Amino acid sequence: MRDLFYDLVRRNGMAVAIYLMLAVSVWVFLLIILPQLTMLDYSFRFNLPPAKIGGPEDVYTIEQFKYFFQGGGSSGGFNALDIGILFKTLFSAVFVTVFDLIICYPVAFILAKSSSGAKARLLVLALIVPYWINEILRAFAFRILFGSTGVINEVGMGLGLFDSPIDFIREDVALYAGLAYAYILLMIFPLYNAIESLDSNQIEAAQDMGASWWQVHAKVVIPYAKPGIASGMTMVFMLTSGALAAPQILGGPSNLWFTQLVYQWFNSGGNWPRGSAYAMILLLVCITLVLLTMRIFKVSIGEIKR
């Protein structure tokens, strides 16, 4: 830390070095690390009324985590509901991530390799525009689209595909479509950047040597774009599993997202320690999954960019 500071002083002068150190320290310690540690601390405490905080009953406990596994009943139970919600959330997030990858890869490839100059820039702009529209409004649009008198049902019934309206909300179709839609851009951009930097001659050389189009992709483009694919998938997975607005608006009545559990314990439940414990569980599980996947695909965190 002292060496770092001296080095910064030597390069930038005292005033700038102080600014750099101060700004980064405030960020890292006051905004990132300490709040997370406080939350960790909270998750190991009982939910006590303010008067008892700091009193003899304010001791560390694993009660909150135990609740997640065993539920509120007597010991030995199994909290099938909450654990089920966690697994469903993760599974759905994986599904949405893979879906996004499949639909975005061709788009990124076409944009990066088949379009040129002004056209490509216009298409990229067209990709960004929907992303600047509020998350809530995007979810709302899907609510309209998939409602029982929504456009999809109207068209479907008009074409005679089905007789009575399908309840897409209840079936979670609207939720998946809305989530996939919400983070499309975060999948396309890393893919686009990765594929764009691939020398087109490599593709042509592969074709020249007799590779079929899918061999070109499987053996040349995809291995090259692997860091982009990994960072796109990481971003989409983390954002989907951490989403709150879309599940609140598009989620079916009997279907909860894990973030909604956190929200409930925190707000309506008024149980901050349990909310913290659930948030910790979400954070740990997600990060473990991402690190595991990155290990499998041999990609480092340094390659993740927006």
Partner 1 sequence: MKMKSPKAMIPGLYLTLFFAYLFGPLIIMVITAFNSSNFPRVSPWECFTTDWFGKLVADDALIEGIGNSLIIGIGVVVVAIPIGLAAAIMLSQVGPKLRASLYTIFIAPILVPGVVIGLSTLIFWDRIGTFFNAPYESFFYDGTFLTIFGQVTFIAAYSMLVFLSRIQRFDHTLTEAALDMGATPTQAFVKVLLPFMAPAIGSATVLAFLASLENYNTTVFTIVSSSTFTTVLSSKVRYGLDPSISAVAVIIISITLIGAIIFEVRNRYNSKGWALVIAERPALKVATHPGTVAGILGVLAIGAVLFIQNYDSNACTAQILEEKRALQQQLMEQQSLDTPTPTQSAPSSTVPSMPSLGPLGGDEGGNEGGDENGAGSDSSAPASNPFGGANGIFAPQNLRGSEGN
Restricting to residues 234-273, name those near partner 1 by CB under 8 A. 234-235, 238-239, 241-245, 248-249, 251-254, 256, 259-260, 262-264, 266, 268, 272
CA distance linking residue 44 with residue 54, whole number of Å: 14
For partner 1, the closer CB: 75 or 251: 251
Tokens standing for residue 70: 């065993």
Report the Cα 159 to chain-centroid distance in Å. Answer: 36
Paired residues of 60 in beta bridges:
45
CA distance linking residue 179 with residue 247, whole number of Å: 8
Choosing from 135, 156, 289, 293, the residue that interacts with partner 1 (CB under 8 A) is 135
CA distance linking residue 60 with residue 134, whole number of Å: 41
Written as one string, the DSSP assignment of 225-251 is THHHHHHHHHHHHHHHHT--HHHHHH-
CB atoms within 10 A of CB 246: 28
* Cβ 202 to partner 1 shortest distance, Å: 19
Stretch that binds partner 1, among 64-72, 148-156, 195-203, 218-226 (CB under 8 A): 148-156
CA distance linking residue 166 with residue 38, whole number of Å: 46
Stretch that binds partner 1, among 30-38, 58-66, 69-77, 204-212 (CB under 8 A): 30-38
* Cβ 95 to partner 1 shortest distance, Å: 17
For partner 1, the closer CB: 225 or 249: 249
Stretch that binds partner 1, among 57-65, 200-208, 217-225, 233-241 (CB under 8 A): 233-241
* Cβ 226 to partner 1 shortest distance, Å: 18
- Closest to 107 in 3D by CA, of 232, 202, 1, 9: 232
How many residues form the binding site for partner 1 (CB under 8 A)? 107
CA distance linking residue 272 with residue 7, whole number of Å: 43
Stretch that binds partner 1, among 10-18, 55-63, 64-72, 200-208 (CB under 8 A): 10-18
* Cβ 198 to partner 1 shortest distance, Å: 17
CA distance linking residue 112 with residue 22, whole number of Å: 40
- Does residue 102 touch partner 1 according to CB under 8 A? no
Helices and strands: H and E segment counts in the chain: 17, 0
DSSP 267: T
Choosing from 130, 270, 288, 292, the residue that interacts with partner 1 (CB under 8 A) is 130
Choosing from 96, 169, 194, 206, the residue that interacts with partner 1 (CB under 8 A) is 169
* Cβ 301 to partner 1 shortest distance, Å: 5
Q: Which of residues 53-92 bind partner 1 (CB under 8 A)?
A: 53, 81
CA distance linking residue 91 with residue 98, whole number of Å: 11
Q: Rg of the Cα trace of the chain?
A: 24
* Cβ 1 to partner 1 shortest distance, Å: 10
- Does residue 156 touch partner 1 according to CB under 8 A? no
Choosing from 48, 101, 145, 211, the residue that interacts with partner 1 (CB under 8 A) is 145
- Does residue 230 touch partner 1 according to CB under 8 A? no
* Cβ 139 to partner 1 shortest distance, Å: 7
Choosing from 90, 179, 203, 279, the residue that interacts with partner 1 (CB under 8 A) is 279
DSSP 91: H
Phi/psi of residue 45, nearest 5 degrees:
-125, 165
